[in-house]
């Protein structure tokens, strides 16, 4: 099984690299890196450097009992494109180049998932079906905006929610673009999650960065996420495999060959198991291909999702 290089693990934990628990975690730390809060810090820093003004119209929409912060760009007569952020991501930190760059071809819709960004309260929690809940919230947002059919683009954890959305709303989702998500989890992932459960074991910089954002909610939030991932693994590790096999719409799977956070086996699995799926790999791409190669990705999305 392909693995990421171990040295980047030092940004995550102060535990000894010689301990059995940490050794097991290193074997599969790619998934933990994606799931953990370090991505939030990177997203915000990147967004602050690139963008200083809002990418579109912002509004709060009440769906499924919560207020969701939604950002839209482009005109309503255009076909709709829903962009689902990753873990701890928001519309403008995760999809600003798409909100700006695709408004000529789509009404681009993105949002802060419940418990993240400006969709707080509520405090983010993680029931075992939280990926499906995110998918259901996304579908409700699109219904509230009046879109009966639309394309979906999902990044990282948002790719998992996007798969579930396409599988459970076949009548609505006519194109799917995913990247950076995983299809399954295994025993090594469980060891890695347990190794990172206690935030006191995180690096000081990482812990203090996210305590500033989430305060006393951070530890219970992270413990809840860990419990949900462990429950998925205990139930067999199927994150979204069953749903992926049932997708009916054309699907574009993107991947950065140098992605340190998503193992290449996952985009390969999606491309082989989603009916009518195509895989495109960026040879020098990492986890944020839609940000690093925004113009190229936008052109691909415009061509793929714009065809009706």
pLDDT in tens, 51-93: 445 678 999 999 999 999 999 999 878 999 999 999 878 899 8
CA 151 to chain centre: 16
Q: How confident is the model at residue 141 (pLDDT cuts 50, 70, 90)?
A: very high
pLDDT of residue 53: 54
Is pLDDT above 50 for 50?
no
> Which residues form the catalytic set?
156, 259, 287
Better-predicted residue by pLDDT, 37 or 212: 212
pLDDT in tens, 223-274: 998 999 999 999 999 999 999 999 999 999 999 999 887 889 999 999 999 9
pLDDT of residue 18: 42
pLDDT of residue 67: 98
pLDDT of residue 301: 98
Mean pLDDT over each residue of the chain, to the nearest integer: 84
Q: With beta carbons less than 8 A apart as the criterion, state whether 228 and 184 touch.
A: no
């Amino acid at each position: 099984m392909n693995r990421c290089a171990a040295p980047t693990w030092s940004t995550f934990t102060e535990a000894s690299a010689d301990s059995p628990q940490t050794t097991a975690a290193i074997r599969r730390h790619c998934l933990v890196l994606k799931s953990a809060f370090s991505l939030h810090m990177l997203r915000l820093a990147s967004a602050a450097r690139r963008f200083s003004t809002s990418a579109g119209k912002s509004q709060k929409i009440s769906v499924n009992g919560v207020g969701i912060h939604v950002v839209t760009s482009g005109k309503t007569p255009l076909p709709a494109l829903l962009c689902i952020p990753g873990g701890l991501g928001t519309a403008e930190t995760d999809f600003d180049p798409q909100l700006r760059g695709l408004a000529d071809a789509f009404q681009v819709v993105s949002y802060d998932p419940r418990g993240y960004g400006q969709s707080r309260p509520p405090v983010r929690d993680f029931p075992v079906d939280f990926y499906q809940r995110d998918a259901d919230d996304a579908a409700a947002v699109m219904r509230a905006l009046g879109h009966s059919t639309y394309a979906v683009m999902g990044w990282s954890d948002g790719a998992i929610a996007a798969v579930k959305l396409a599988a459970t709303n076949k009548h609505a989702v006519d194109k799917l673009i995913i990247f950076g998500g995983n299809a399954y989890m295994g025993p090594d992932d469980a060891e890695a999650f347990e190794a990172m459960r206690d935030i006191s074991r995180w690096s000081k910089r990482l812990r203090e960065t996210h305590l500033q954002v989430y305060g006393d909610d951070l530890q219970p939030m992270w413990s809840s996420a860990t419990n949900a991932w462990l429950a998925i693994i205990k139930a067999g590790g199927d994150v979204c495999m069953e749903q992926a096999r049932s997708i009916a719409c054309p699907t574009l799977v993107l991947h950065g060959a140098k992605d340190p956070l998503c193992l290449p086996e996952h985009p390969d699995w999606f491309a082989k198991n989603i009916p009518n799926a195509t895989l495109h790999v960026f040879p020098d791409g990492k986890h944020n291909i839609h940000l690093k190669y925004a113009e190229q990705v936008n052109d691909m999305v415009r061509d793929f999702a714009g065809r009706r």
